[in-house]
Structure 1
Amino acid sequence: MTDPLIIGAMVRTLGAYPSGWRQPGAHRDPANDADILRHIAKEGEDAGLDYLFFGDWLATGPDLEFRDPYLLARIDPVSAVLFLAGVTSRIGLIATVNTTYADPYTTARSLASLDVLTRGRAGINLVTGAEPRAAGNHGREVHAANETRYDRAEEFVTALRRLWDSWSEDAWIADAERGVLIDPAGLRRTDLRGAQVQVTGPLNVARPPQGQIPIVHAGTSPRSRTLAATEADLALIAAPNLADAIATRAILRDIAADAGRSPDALKVIAPVLPVVADTDDDARRIVQRLLALVPLAEGHQSARTAFPTNRTVAALADAFEVAADDGLRAAAFDEPVTAARAARLGGGGAALIERLSRIAGVGVGSGDPLTWRHLVAAHAVPAAFVVGDAGTIADHFETWRDEGAADGFNVLSAFQPAQFEAFTRIAAPELRRRGLLRSASEDAGTTLRDRLRVTSYVDA
């Protein structure tokens, strides 16, 4: 029997699509994140998801309002998982830590504490950072170069593993009659003196129940893929289509094998942004509303600070290399796209139009009318939507598993809480029926490592 997929939720309280927060009833105030986090945790745990995943971004600015609103103001991920530790009992909790700026001892201590408090449900996502503004927030002149960041990340992983292994499994004796609390031989120093990381240890937290806490990593550069394939338990990929995902997973597994690691020890996880409803048509209408609510360069928006330059019809025409202008660039956003003008957008435009027909039910001369607003919004704010009812969503998951594209998925929700509820209440039962998702009551072991079906890392 085939194992279920690994399915977790990538938590973004303001929604994963930039206009999601504008939906009626959507969560839109970060000051009230505690309430929505409790709700997400309950929904995810009741649905049988394997983990909740919290990303991070170490800076903010007005440009994020239009590009990624969820990054403007968000709870620190380690604080978020510690908060949810007390209101959950089964689901894994994965926090992101930036190795460029974090301290390895503090990180090892925080995650070991989480693992102890949750009886083995902690996970850590290690990133090296892509936001240059983070440097100033940490007292540095510039963001470190890619090679330097990955040199530090590799040493950071070594430090974490040694610190989590400070205590032997049998070091804590607690023999009250003899007055012997520990076996000193079971408490080890770390003694790591690398070029980037120095730490002595041992760790002043009890041994994590998982021994080694599961490590997650994502990235596309050669160094990033090597780190994921050789050190991580979960490798997060960003693949725009099935073929790319199959190729990326194969590359990562090959790197793992070349390093002497079993490829099956590495689980490859793809992102998915399902828009779920009772019917495919209802789901497409939700996508239509999301596109309609993307701020475009009209009225006061064009004068806003840091407003994106690509949200005009003219920018769309330039992107598709439309030559002579017969008025196309001056088209109104809500004007229907004619067949003649659609043809002028070339192959790239044709692909975008076909995609919009599939995910939003809009078209030229068929379905609901395709407008320039649809085209500009979908091009300026792309998203890997999977749109439909429970069967459509399950088909996507099943196909990617059967074709060897992914071992699991990070589920994003366009807005909270309605779309996450739609996934857990509409799609999840069908995933369980097909054996793609275990039930909340199914015995999956007591730790996150058990749920992920990954063996414990052994430091050679």
Structure 2
Amino acid sequence: MSGAVDRPATGPLIVGAMVRTLGAYPSGWRQPGAHADPQTDASILRRVARLAEDADLDYLFFGDWLATGPDLEFRDPYLLARIDPVSAVLYLAGVTEKIGLIATVNSTYADPYATARATASLDLLTGGRGGVNLVTGAEPRAAANHGRDAHADNEARYDRAEEFVRALRLLWESWDDDAWIADRDSGVLIDAERLRTAAFVGTQVRVEGPLNVARPPQAHPPIVHAGTSPRSRALAATEADLALIAAADPASAAATRTELRALAEASGRDPDDLKVIVPVLPVVAETDASARAVVDRLLLLVPIDDGASGHAERPGFPANRSLAAFLDAAGLPADDPARRAAVDDVVAADAAARFAEAGARVLDLVRLRTGRSVGGEHPVTWRHLIAAHAVPANFVVGGPTVIADHFELWRAAGAADGFNVLSAFQQAQFEAFAQLAAPELRRRGLLGRAGATLRERLSLGAPRLAYAPALATR
């Protein structure tokens, strides 16, 4: 495998914010002062955009989910009610000046012409700061919301996604750079030979064109894709500019990054034009102890089945949020006396000593992230362990130095070209990252990329254009 495939990231990392107005952790909205009302999302979006731009982040990223239901209250509250991502980025286009704006589109249900039109418009309105995250979706309820009896299988969804990307790019290239003449004396507005149809006919996607929006400043706004299946990784490696991956540690992330870059190179691409991005959920405060206190409260606020709250009887309440579920995971006997303890009781040392490997890992995470310990001055409770087991999160907890060390470690391991920063709740935690951690990242040269367009900030090469006449004019 070539050195280019294995080459780690150098220079400033790509750092974007994955915006979830209700927070990325299920109990985040319960924190004192946290944003908890989707009807006032506009003010949070403006505040996050200003903070991100002042901190010199590279983009704001908006995900999507095409259904809702009461179960999401416990699993992912931020999905219950949220602004349409394309609407969100167009709203923020007028209140930002340099940060990239990436909106999610589900290619299973979206119309390619409408998507090309919206994303080209975003790119024009922002002077080249637009991007699109293409997903194929895996939510059965979304099918009914789009008039379908069943959700398409994985192969059909990716067949459509591949055609969708090709149609998008052809539509974006409808106009050459110099197609607009606007000669007032001669009365000639356009060179008709430099306006073309897409004329794309696939098995699932068909578009004629041309696009009735002028050529995007970036020609091809960057495409983002995430997924774990072989088809998903193939799509990311051959078509995406940013590949979003999830990994538990730098070694596994580095292996995935190497695999994706090798697939990109095998498809004829420069592997450096594929940037691999991992999510991170930093809990930031001025001191490590203060950050641990935030996580401690987040765990305590996770709704669990404690036998008294009535949560277990509510629709969609997760079955794994109980003492019995945690003890099963820890491998303790079914008749262990600890089962009869209230979930608020502290964890006994004899019970902790008998934890299986999975339970011991959860206990170590709680120690690391909250500062609590079995038998210590601030003891671990069963409630902490249940929450940490049932609602796992990729927390990085501490002051600015700890956060910057994490970023630096992953870059040195060749694990990522950048990070999508999540915030446990808004707006205080994103504010803490932007105002405390970001300056330390800049001081170390890990943050602060140059470029007027999003493609330039991401250090992407020139897009692979389909039409030679368009290529010749650039």
Distance 1:413 1:38 in 2: 16
Is it true that 1:49 corresponds to 2:25 in the alignment? no
Residue in structure 1 matched with residue 457 of structure 2 by the alignment: 451
Q: Contact 1:288–1:360 at 8 Å: present in 2 too?
A: yes
Is it true that 1:416 corresponds to 2:423 in the alignment? no
Is it true that 1:311 corresponds to 2:317 in the alignment? no
Residue in structure 2 matched with residue 355 of structure 1 by the alignment: 365
- The one-letter code of the counterpart of 2:168 is L
Secondary structure (helix, strand or coil) at the match of 2:209 reads coil
- The one-letter code of the counterpart of 1:83 is Y
Residue in structure 1 matched with residue 469 of structure 2 by the alignment: none
- The one-letter code of the counterpart of 2:250 is L
Q: Contact 1:314–1:330 at 8 Å: present in 2 too?
A: no
Deviation at 1:324, TM superposition (A): 4.1
Equivalent residue in structure 2 for 1:255, among 242, 252, 263? 263
Q: Deviations along 1:352-393, whole A, 9 cap, x unmatched?
A: 111111111111133520110000000000000000000000
Secondary structure (helix, strand or coil) at the match of 1:362 reads coil
**Cα distance, 1:127–1:367 mapped onto 2, change above 3 Å:** farther
Deviation at 1:331, TM superposition (A): 2.1
Distance 1:367 1:144 in 2: 54
Q: Contact 1:112–1:208 at 8 Å: present in 2 too?
A: yes
Residue in structure 2 matched with residue 146 of structure 1 by the alignment: 154
Distance 1:184 1:329 in 2: 77
Deviation at 1:351, TM superposition (A): 1.2
Distance 2:444 2:16 in 1: 17
Q: Deviations along 1:100-147, whole A, 9 cap, x unmatched?
A: 000000000000001001111100000000111000000000000000
- The one-letter code of the counterpart of 1:129 is G
- The one-letter code of the counterpart of 2:380 is L
Q: Contact 2:175–2:194 at 8 Å: present in 1 too?
A: yes
Distance 1:236 1:216 in 2: 7
Distance 2:396 2:285 in 1: 11
Residue in structure 2 matched with residue 172 of structure 1 by the alignment: 180
Q: Which moved more, 1:137-146 or 1:245-254?
A: 245-254
Residue in structure 1 matched with residue 86 of structure 2 by the alignment: 78
Residue in structure 1 matched with residue 409 of structure 2 by the alignment: 399
Q: Which moved more, 1:4-13 or 1:167-176?
A: 167-176
Deviation at 1:53, TM superposition (A): 0.2
Secondary structure (helix, strand or coil) at the match of 1:396 reads helix
Residue in structure 1 matched with residue 445 of structure 2 by the alignment: 435
Q: Deviations along 1:283-302, whole A, 9 cap, x unmatched?
A: 00100000000001132212
- The one-letter code of the counterpart of 2:106 is N
Residue in structure 2 matched with residue 63 of structure 1 by the alignment: 71
Q: Deviations along 1:174-214, whole A, 9 cap, x unmatched?
A: 11111111111100110111001000011000000001110
Is it true that 1:40 corresponds to 2:37 in the alignment? no
Equivalent residue in structure 1 for 2:164, among 156, 162, 165? 156
Secondary structure (helix, strand or coil) at the match of 1:70 reads helix
Residue in structure 1 matched with residue 14 of structure 2 by the alignment: 6
TM-score for both structures, normalised by structure 2: 0.95
Q: Contact 2:329–2:359 at 8 Å: present in 1 too?
A: no
Distance 1:365 1:257 in 2: 54
Residue in structure 2 matched with residue 123 of structure 1 by the alignment: 131
Deviation at 1:450, TM superposition (A): 0.8
Taking only aligned residues, the RMSD between alpha carbons, in angstroms, comes to 1.1
- The one-letter code of the counterpart of 1:276 is V
**Aligned positions of 1:173-322 closer than 5 A:** 173-298=181-306, 299-322=309-332
Give unpaired runs (5+ residues) of structure 2: 1-8, 467-474
TM-score for both structures, normalised by structure 1: 0.98
Distance 1:2 1:201 in 2: 41
Deviation at 1:307, TM superposition (A): 1.1
Residue in structure 1 matched with residue 472 of structure 2 by the alignment: none
Residue in structure 2 matched with residue 27 of structure 1 by the alignment: 35
Distance 2:377 2:160 in 1: 53
Distance 1:374 1:418 in 2: 23
Distance 2:184 2:319 in 1: 70
Secondary structure (helix, strand or coil) at the match of 1:357 reads helix
Equivalent residue in structure 1 for 2:340, among 330, 334, 341? 330
Q: Contact 2:283–2:429 at 8 Å: present in 1 too?
A: yes
Taking every aligned residue pair, what percent have the same amino acid on both sides? 68
- The one-letter code of the counterpart of 1:447 is T
- The one-letter code of the counterpart of 1:398 is E
Q: Contact 2:251–2:413 at 8 Å: present in 1 too?
A: no
Deviation at 1:23, TM superposition (A): 0.3
Give unpaired runs (5+ residues) of structure 1: none
Distance 2:257 2:80 in 1: 32
- The one-letter code of the counterpart of 1:449 is R
Q: Contact 2:331–2:359 at 8 Å: present in 1 too?
A: no
Distance 1:410 1:12 in 2: 12
Distance 1:331 1:228 in 2: 49
**Aligned positions of 1:356-371 closer than 5 A:** 356-366=366-376, 368-371=378-381
Q: Contact 2:284–2:429 at 8 Å: present in 1 too?
A: yes
Q: Contact 1:313–1:330 at 8 Å: present in 2 too?
A: no
- The one-letter code of the counterpart of 2:170 is R
